[in-house]
């Protein structure tokens, strides 16, 4: 998603990762900072929130059971995850 949002020098930086075959370990922190500045992580969190809310709604239609409660718990953990 970073490539889709980036422009100019930022685009070139991310495109280099594709053409050079990946992200060198020494560039992980910089990539994270650049992606954060582009709003990539915020967008991902919003998507997770939206999909997990939809899943909760569907689970609410099921009978109460241990499996249903476990799935609700798992969805809550996914929403709370911040890494």
| 52 shares its domain with 76 | yes
pLDDT digits (tens, 9 = 90+) for 10-58: 999 999 999 999 999 999 999 999 999 999 999 999 999 999 999 999 9
CB 6 within 8 A of CB 18: no
Structural domain count, the chain: 2
| 31 shares its domain with 46 | no
The 10 Å Cβ neighbour count of residue 65 is 9
pLDDT digits (tens, 9 = 90+) for 54-78: 999 999 999 999 999 999 999 999 9
User: What is the span of the domain harbouring residue 50?
Assistant: 42-80
What pTM, to 2 d.p., does this model score? 0.75
The confidence score (pLDDT) of residue 81 equals: 84
CB 1 within 8 A of CB 43: yes
| 53 shares its domain with 66 | yes
pLDDT band at 83 (very low <50, low <70, confident <90, very high): low
């Amino acid at each position: 998603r970073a490539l889709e949002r980036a422009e100019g020098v930022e685009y070139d930086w991310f495109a280099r990762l594709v053409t050079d075959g990946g992200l060198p370990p020494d560039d992980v922190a910089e990539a994270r900072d650049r992606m954060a500045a582009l709003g990539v992580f915020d967008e991902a969190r919003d998507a997770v929130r939206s999909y997990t809310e939809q899943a909760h709604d569907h689970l609410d239609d099921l009978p109460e059971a241990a499996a249903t409660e476990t799935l609700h718990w798992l969805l809550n953990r996914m929403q709370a995850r911040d890494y």
